[in-house]
Amino acid sequence: MHLTKHHGLENDFLVALVDAVPADASTLAQRLCARHTGVGADGLIFGVAHPDADIEMVLFNADGSSAEISGNGIRCLAQALAEARGITEGVVTIAAGVGVRRLELKPANTPNTVLVSVSMGQVTSGPPLPELAELQRPGFRILNAQTGDVGNPHVILLVDDVSAPDAELDGAALEQVWMPTGINVHFLAHSAPNEITLVHRERGAGVTAACGSGATVAATIAHQWGLVGPEVSVVMPGGEATVLVGPDAVLVGPSVKIADIEIAGPTDATQPAPEKVSHG
């Protein structure tokens, strides 16, 4: 199996353009995404044929669970598809668990990088929240909270300083106590006019450097709260994305190709296979 590795603001993915998703895809994702014993990534994406789009995205988190959408992952798949077609700019359509998304690619000024605009769709309300007092944690104060959904569920927690919460511990505790079935937990601070700062813990992956779908939901909710206008800079540990808030929210950010990887032998995760990596 041939893979390419990409990252969107340091949120990294392995991408395989295949005829069909392997039967052992979940365990394969766990093995290949492992940071110390595999290639290492936040998720594994398979790109397969789809009748109503250029390609379909089938995404598995690092723990082997499936995910409906990833704002960073879909940009990485778009870059892999564009490279396979020998293009560096243009429009592609990608089907996901949330429907077909339109992506526009443009060359960037840095090597192996494209700038991708993604039509993320409508941000709707997420699952109901407990009372604000029930969400409070020692060491920091939650000023406001709201859930949102852009095909996957998110909770946005407004705080004074995103460094006060422990994104892993506090995020996991909030998820486990409130929604053990899984939700992406984001801590948001209003850092400047039309700018927010975001740290987060994603279900199935843990703390990541960036979350594109979370940035989309967070910017939309911050706009609803009156903190920012309709064009929002979202600053995350891995870098900055732009969200254009509207009925069809648009996420703009880079995708960077890191390497080509050949997985030799069977994909069955019970049979370890050597990996050959070519950086590019």
Confidence of residue 279 (pLDDT cuts 50, 70, 90): very low
Q: Are 109 and 100 in contact (CB under 8 A)?
A: no
Instruction: Please check the confidence at residue 276 and state whether its pLDDT lies above 50.
Output: no
CATH superfamily of 2-120+255-279: Diaminopimelate Epimerase; Chain A, domain 1 (3.10.310.10)
Q: Are 240 and 198 in contact (CB under 8 A)?
A: no
Domain boundaries, the chain: 2-120+255-279, 124-246
Across 13-18, average pLDDT? 98
pLDDT at 249: 98
pLDDT, one tens digit per residue, over 129-170 is 999 998 999 999 999 999 999 999 999 999 999 999 999 999
Q: Indicate if 124-246 has the same CATH topology as 2-120+255-279.
A: yes
Q: What's the mean pLDDT when you consider all of the chain? A: 93
Q: Are 65 and 58 in contact (CB under 8 A)?
A: no
pTM of the model: 0.90
Across 202-224, average pLDDT? 96
Q: Are 44 and 29 in contact (CB under 8 A)?
A: yes
> Could you tell me which residue, 45 or 178, shows the higher pLDDT?
45
Closest listed residue to residue 184, CA positions, set 222, 220, 210, 223? 210
pLDDT at 264: 77
* Length of the chain measured in residues: 280
Instruction: Please check the confidence at residue 241 and state whether its pLDDT lies above 90.
Output: yes
pLDDT at 72: 97
pLDDT at 189: 98
CATH superfamily of 124-246: Diaminopimelate Epimerase; Chain A, domain 1 (3.10.310.10)
